[in-house]
Structure 1
């Protein structure tokens, strides 16, 4: 049984979705606002986050940003009707999928099941990612073989993006969009140089002869290699 956290302030919609998801075999916990959503995220560590963007206390965008500092668990974002720009914003901010309200309930179930099938369990910032790498979001740094690696904000975002997509190639264009925010304004050489800086810092912190887990894939992009 998969554990789902639903952050939704509409009581009627939340009740209907909770019943629907429970009937599909999911254990659902609901938070009515963003602040409670983050509290339950820490406490429950769910398998998937179902997140509304329009929330009291903290909105969905703030919850998504904080979530991505902590974990790579799948996030399905629920956006208002008639707001296609929110879908683009959500995907760029780290959501794995987006649905615009009102949506078909069977489509929601299908998307939830698809996201859960594509993941092999969420990694959290307080857990080891791979064998010896830990991300430390509160200091925007990493721990590699017991040594702390100080990173700039950009370097941390770059490493976090690669770790979040561990085992998969992230293209240079995707990194430009997700880390720098505007691919057309940034040269591809900056990505190469930033990756080189991250690799050099990890190499300096690790034991001699141990390969760093960030690698380039010729003609495609970069990948965090799962040990």
Structure 2
């Protein structure tokens, strides 16, 4: 039996999905807004997410972005917005499939089951990163530098989280474009360069001593304090 989180603010639609997928043998966890959906996601670690876009408090695009920060969880967008540009936006933002309302019972069930077959077991990266200088908490999108909270934009957070998760390794501009930007199509390596510069300034006024280093002709890497001092890899991840 698969565990499915359904985030849908229309009560009738939510009830219909619960009944339909429940009869198909799935456990359905309901949520009626984006914020409670994220809370239940962290609590239950579902096998797949069915996500409406037009949600109160926090819309579906924000939820999708948050989920993709921490997991490759299969995501089916369920919405009344059927325009092609909306579908393209959803798929490029990290959704695996897109189903427009009104939908048939058979199609919803078939798409969910196909999604589960293709995806396998979702991986999660909620571990807190802490090297003594920088602390990154993906679940809350919180960053601390020397115990002082630093406020980053969503792109800056994804960039820093990606760099610390690959600490010590050099990532090319192309790799960073693919991992950090929802839609890297048409973006140049200069986009990465300027984002790195802004992130360095956010982390410390003294950018000359930044743990984010440029490797000429290759890319960028994050080197934690211990690694810069003595070459040892002493990274710490905690839940």
Give CA-to-partner distance per residue, 1:122-146, whole Å, 9 cap, x none: 2222359xxxxxx8523579xxxxx
Residue 181 of structure 1 aligns to a residue in which SS?
Answer: coil
Q: 1:95 & 1:175 partners in 2: Cα distance?
A: 18
- List aligned pairs for 1:80-91, cutoff 5 A: 80-91=80-91
Aligned residue in 2 for 1:12: 12
Q: 1:126 & 1:9 partners in 2: Cα distance?
A: 26
- List aligned pairs for 1:62-141, cutoff 5 A: 62-126=62-126, 136-137=137-138, 138=141
Judging changes above 3 Å, is the alpha-carbon distance between structure 1 residues 78 and 160 closer, same or farther for their aligned structure 2 residues?
farther
Aligned residues: 185
* Unaligned segments of structure 1, at least 5 residues: 129-134, 142-151, 163-171, 211-227
Residue 184 of structure 1 aligns to a residue in which SS?
Answer: coil
Normalised by the length of structure 2, the TM-score is 0.62
Aligned-residue Cα RMSD (Å) equals 3.8
Judging changes above 3 Å, is the alpha-carbon distance between structure 1 residues 156 and 120 closer, same or farther for their aligned structure 2 residues?
farther
Judging changes above 3 Å, is the alpha-carbon distance between structure 1 residues 5 and 161 closer, same or farther for their aligned structure 2 residues?
farther
CA positional deviation for 1:42: 1.3
Judging changes above 3 Å, is the alpha-carbon distance between structure 1 residues 190 and 42 closer, same or farther for their aligned structure 2 residues?
closer
Aligned residue in 2 for 1:215: none
State the structure with more CA Rg. Answer: 2
Judging changes above 3 Å, is the alpha-carbon distance between structure 1 residues 33 and 95 closer, same or farther for their aligned structure 2 residues?
same
Give CA-to-partner distance per residue, 1:64-109, whole Å, 9 cap, x none: 1111122221111112243222111111111111111112221211
| Counterpart contact for 1:79–1:87, Cα < 8 Å | no
Residue 6 of structure 2 aligns to a residue in which SS?
Answer: strand
Aligned residue in 2 for 1:184: 186
Aligned residue in 1 for 2:30: 30
Q: 2:164 & 2:104 partners in 1: Cα distance?
A: 33
Q: 2:72 & 2:87 partners in 1: Cα distance?
A: 19
* Unaligned segments of structure 2, at least 5 residues: 129-135, 145-155, 167-173, 194-214, 234-239
Q: 2:106 & 2:30 partners in 1: Cα distance?
A: 20
Runs of 4+ in structure 1 deviating by more than 6 angstroms, as ranges, are: 159-162, 188-195, 206-210
